[in-house]
Amino acid sequence: MRNLKITLAYDGFDFRGWQVQPSQSTVQGLLGAAVERVTGERLLPQGSGRTDAGVHALAQVASCAIESPIPVANLVVALNDVLPPAVRVLAIEEASPDFHARASAKAKTYRYRIWRDALCPPFLARYVYHHPYPLDEGAMAEAAGAVVGEHDFTSLAAADPERGREAQEVSNVRTIFSSAWQREGEEMLYTVRGNGFLHHMVRNLVGTFLLMGKGSLRPANMTGILQAKSRSAAGPTAPAHGLYLVSVEY
């Protein structure tokens, strides 16, 4: 038995997210079907985490144990032949037997793209959130800095319907290593790196920063929002299609 580390990129706009679902097009489902078609083995590659419907990935990581002796380079080519063009396997490596894409992850980086110009080119419509209205970008930068460090992010976490009651009691404390906005032409890019992220956490952070950009909240409110440990204290969930899973570190 070999254990593989699969790195893949996807345009998530047309998928129902990462996690396999009956009669829905999901990245995990497509990857599992591709592995089965190539190796004859029925298995479900485990992702570093689920991405929501519409969320993109520049380098999602999945792990799976297979019997097939097919060399990794050939497996990359064979899987890409079978997968739709919106999902591409970038690399496959042999991993140690105890490697697990989710459990072994040490850090993840996400990015959120906001398009600021009055007109959003049609070729970007699937890949950025178009928000052409006035924003106080300084306030958003300040608020982004305020979440760096170890915090309980309950206020920024969606109630996850797929986690049972027991799991809901698991800690919502996460450590954010960096969190910052940058400007690139007509785009505002938010990049956040942390040791883990709760369900909808990055989209809820962006939705909260946007309220600060609009002046509905002030950056100084960020501490109180975290302390409230209540979803209703924070802002709305920003649209999925502006979000990218950039990388997973092990």
Give all strands (DSSP E) within the chain, no chain letters: 2-10, 46-47, 56-66, 87-95, 107-115, 129-130, 149-152, 173-184, 187-194, 243-249
Contact positions vs its own copies (CB under 8 A):
9-11, 56, 80, 85-88, 90, 119-123, 125, 127, 130
Residue closer to its own copies, measured from CB, 91 or 159: 91
User: Considering the complex, what minimum distance in angstroms separates the CB of residue 80 from its own copies?
Assistant: 7
Residue closer to its own copies, measured from CB, 11 or 186: 11
CB 192 within 8 A of CB 105: no
**Alpha helices, DSSP H only, in the chain?**
27-39, 72-82, 137-145, 165-168, 201-214, 221-228
CB 49 within 8 A of CB 197: yes
Residue closer to its own copies, measured from CB, 86 or 189: 86
User: Considering the complex, what minimum distance in angstroms separates the CB of residue 199 from its own copies?
Assistant: 24
The catalytic residue among 11, 14, 52, 117 is 52
φ/ψ region of 189 (left if φ > 0, alpha if ψ in -120 to 50, else beta) reads beta
- Give the dihedral of Cα atoms 129, 141, 154, 164; nearest 10 deg: 30
Active site residue 52: yes
User: Considering the complex, what minimum distance in angstroms separates the CB of residue 129 from its own copies?
Assistant: 11
What gap in Å lies between CA 31 and CA 24, rounded to an integer?
13
Residue closer to its own copies, measured from CB, 9 or 72: 9
Residue closer to its own copies, measured from CB, 86 or 228: 86
User: Considering the complex, what minimum distance in angstroms separates the CB of residue 43 from its own copies?
Assistant: 23
∠99-79-39 over CA atoms, to 5°?
75
- List the catalytic residues: 52
